[in-house]
């Protein structure tokens, strides 16, 4: 595939007012989330849940792409349509998580490295044939007084860059996700320091591996105080620090930055995105690729019951439409209490 085609897909993923739904939780992770609400986790219940996430009213107005898990890309809608085709029919690009999770990094206690490079070329080729147009690989960085170590930075940067180069070779747009975790008592200043060094080493590795920056997206954390930090800061401070850090370390050739939510409350993640987009001009589109911050209210509303599927879809519609507005800096508190959209006849079409 020509790099031009990949550039077009990358741009489509960050077209104005649209973002990405991350629905690629592994079976154990989704099972843990189901467990907290006493929802039974089976292949069928996960399929029903994911179909609700993909088919909510007007989904393609707000969502440009969905990141799937290996289990889901092989499943079908209730009417028997394979999910990649189901999404494409709605005007949504199917994507796929291709890493195999973060494992302890040898010699670096308390740190992890993401695995999954072995056999990746063949897996990417299979996913592309199944309809995937973009992929995701998540690196996980713990913050401590002396973490991350140089070993962690280079191992994760190198893996992300090798993954991204393979994706482009196989005709998929790579989403490069280095996540600096919110866990811990660190300050926002420490988060900015660590995010800076992480982004710097990731882009150095991408350069070394010859990755075309125009044909990828960056999925970073926001610059934010650790969950246990005693000094939590304002929305404006988060926006200013985040944009300063990105401006210093993300080349202008990258078409889009799509944030992860990382455990922020759903409405706060929207407010942060909105505030970032209200600040000055930027060389990239700035949007969302949220998992929990889009899904949590819908998962709670569904609670595993068929009779709740519609109200769950409306909860997701709320989060998707508010985040869509935040992509263009037009989100307001009132949008959180606006009327639900009228019932649509295309509710669960294929
Ligand atoms: P969260 O928005 O829940 O952090 O998930 C995004 C994601 O894809 C993590 O890899």
Annotated catalytic residue 219 = yes
* Closest ligand 1 atom, residue 24 Cα: 8
Task: Tell me if residue 140 falls in helix, strand or coil.
Answer: strand
Annotated catalytic residue 18 = no
Alpha helices, DSSP H only, in 170-234?
A: 188-208
- Cα(345) to centroid(ligand 1), Å: 31
* Closest ligand 1 atom, residue 138 Cα: 10
* Catalytic residue (one of 177, 179, 192, 310): 177
pLDDT for 66-99, tens place per residue? 999 999 999 999 999 999 999 999 999 999 999 9
Please, what is the average pLDDT of the chain? 96
Which pLDDT value is given to residue 344? 40
Checking if the pLDDT of 338 tops 90, the result is no
pTM of the model: 0.96
* Closest ligand 1 atom, residue 269 Cα: 2
pLDDT for 109-145, tens place per residue? 999 999 999 999 999 999 999 999 999 999 999 999 9
Could you give the C-alpha distances from 64 to 34, 35, 54, in angstroms and in order?
Answer: 26, 29, 11
Two tokens, residue 212: 């075309």
Which pLDDT value is given to residue 350? 40
* CB 173 less than 6 A from any atom of ligand 1: no
- b/e for 70-102, b at 16 or more Cβ within 10 A? bbbbebebeeebbbbebbeebebbbbbbbbbeb
Q: Whose CA is nearest to atom 10 of ligand 1?
A: 138
How many residues does the structure list for the chain? Answer: 350
Q: Whose CA is nearest to atom 8 of ligand 1?
A: 22
Tokens 């007084």, located at residue: 145
């Amino acid at each position: 595939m020509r790099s031009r085609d990949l550039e077009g897909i990358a741009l489509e993923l960050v077209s104005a007012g649209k973002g990405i739904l991350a629905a690629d939780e592994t079976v154990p992770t989704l099972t843990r989330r189901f467990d907290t609400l006493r929802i039974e986790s089976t292949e069928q219940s996960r399929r029903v849940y994911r179909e609700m996430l993909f088919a909510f009213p007007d989904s393609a107005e707000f969502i440009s792409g969905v990141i799937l898990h290996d289990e889901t890309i092989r499943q079908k809608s209730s009417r028997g349509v394979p999910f990649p085709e189901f999404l494409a029919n709605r005007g949504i690009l199917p994507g796929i998580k291709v890493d195999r999770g973060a494992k302890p990094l040898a010699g670096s206690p308390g740190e992890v490295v993401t695995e999954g490079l072995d056999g990746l070329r063949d897996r990417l080729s299979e996913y592309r044939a199944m309809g995937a147009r973009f992929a995701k690989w998540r690196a996980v960085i713990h913050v401590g007084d002396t973490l991350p170590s140089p070993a962690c930075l280079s191992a994760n940067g190198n893996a992300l860059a090798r993954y991204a180069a393979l994706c482009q070779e196989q005709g998929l747009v790579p989403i490069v996700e280095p996540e600096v975790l919110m866990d811990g008592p660190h300050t926002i200043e420490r988060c900015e320091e660590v995010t800076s060094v992480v982004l710097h080493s990731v882009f150095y590795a991408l350069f070394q591996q010859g990755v075309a920056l125009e044909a990828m997206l960056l999925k970073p954390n926001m610059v934010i105080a650790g969950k246990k930090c005693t000094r939590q800061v304002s929305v404006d401070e988060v926006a200013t620090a985040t944009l300063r850090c990105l401006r210093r370390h993300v080349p202008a050739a990258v078409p889009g930055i799509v944030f992860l939510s990382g455990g922020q409350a759903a409405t706060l993640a929207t407010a942060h995105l909105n505030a970032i987009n209200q600040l000055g001009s930027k060389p990239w589109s700035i949007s969302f690729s949220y998992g929990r911050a889009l899904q949590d209210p819908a998962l709670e509303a569904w609670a595993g019951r068929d009779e709740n599927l519609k109200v769950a879809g409306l909860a997701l519609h709320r989060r998707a439409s508010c985040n869509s507005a935040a992509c263009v800096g037009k989100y307001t508190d009132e949008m959180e209490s606006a009327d639900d959209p009228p019932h649509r006849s295309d509710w669960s079409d294929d």
